[in-house]
Amino acid sequence: MLVLTRRPHETIVFPAFQTTVHVVSAQPHSVRLGVEAPAEVRVLTGEAAERGVRPTAEPSDFDAPSLVQLDQLVQKRLDIARLGLTAMRRRLDCGQEDDVEIIRKKIDEDLHMLQRRIRREVEKAAPRTALIRRIEIHAGPQLPR
């Protein structure tokens, strides 16, 4: 066991887990700690771990964007692409073909980034959707009330 002495507002860092423990305050017989960790790192008190406590939801449930947020992201990116196309049209009218190619590449890169982001969100949601479907299948058809 490693024993460390820390004062309030000092930290302990676990770089392999991307986790930091902050000493929030120290009083006789108690120390308040703050833990910063990625969602996939489970943090439990010793008592909870001994009782076998499990989190009530998967970490990805907390950080998954809502459909409204994804819609806003898509709308924002499409608006930017439209602005880029308008700028391209103006540059073409002025005979600035080199600028047009630069703008085209930026629009293409932005749309590819958007596509990758949406694909990641769909892949995150896919296991949850499959789990829900399995639960529905095992529960059987619901009868009308």
pLDDT in tens, 6-30: 888 889 999 888 888 988 888 888 8
Confidence of residue 93 (pLDDT cuts 50, 70, 90): very high
Cα separation of 83 and 81, whole Å? Answer: 5
Q: Are residues 134 and 93 in the same domain?
A: yes
**Phi, psi torsion values for 140, nearest 5 degrees:** 80, 175
Which pLDDT score is estimated for 69? 79
Look at residue 58 and tell me whether its pLDDT is greater than 50.
no
92 part of a folded domain: yes
4 part of a folded domain: no
Q: Are residues 73 and 129 in the same domain?
A: yes
Q: Are residues 46 and 76 in the same domain?
A: no
Cα separation of 141 and 138, whole Å? Answer: 9
Which pLDDT score is estimated for 57? 47
User: What's the domain range around 40?
Assistant: 11-55
Question: Per the structure, how many domains does the chain have?
Answer: 2
5 part of a folded domain: no
> What single DSSP character describes residue 20?
E
Which pLDDT score is estimated for 62? 45
Cα separation of 119 and 107, whole Å? Answer: 18
- List, for residues 94-123, the tens digit of each pLDDT value: 998 888 888 888 888 888 888 888 888 777
47 part of a folded domain: yes
Q: Are residues 110 and 48 in the same domain?
A: no
Q: Are residues 85 and 35 in the same domain?
A: no
Look at residue 144 and tell me whether its pLDDT is greater than 60.
no
What's this model's pTM, rounded to 2 decimal places? 0.43
116 part of a folded domain: yes
111 part of a folded domain: yes
